Amino acid sequence: MTQTFTHDDILRYLYGETNAQESQLIESALASDEALYQFYRQNKELIGQLHNITLEPPQRVVDNIMKYARRRTYHPVD
C-alpha cells in the first residue's frame, strides 16, 4: 500500500519532527512524487530565508522612541 503524505507531513519532516521510519517513507515519496518534491524544495528555501530576517528595529525607530522618551516629563508619585 502506498503512503500518502500531506503538506503538514512534509513540514514536520523539514523541521526534523518525524521519526526515522516516517523520514524514510517521506524521502521515498519525495523521490517519486514531483509535486510533493516541489513543495518540499520551496519550503526548504523559505525556511532558509527565515534565518535572514532582521530581528532589530531600524535605527530610525529607535531614534523616534528615544526622542519621545526625552520629551516626556517624569512626575514621581509621592
Q: For each successive 10 residues of the chain (78 residues), what is the average pLDDT?
A: 86 97 97 97 95 86 91 68
Please give the Cα distance from 40 to 26 (Å, whole number). 10
* 8 Å CB contact between 26 and 10: yes
**Residue 65 amino acid letter:** I
What is the structure's pLDDT at 53?
A: 85
What is the structure's pLDDT at 31?
A: 96
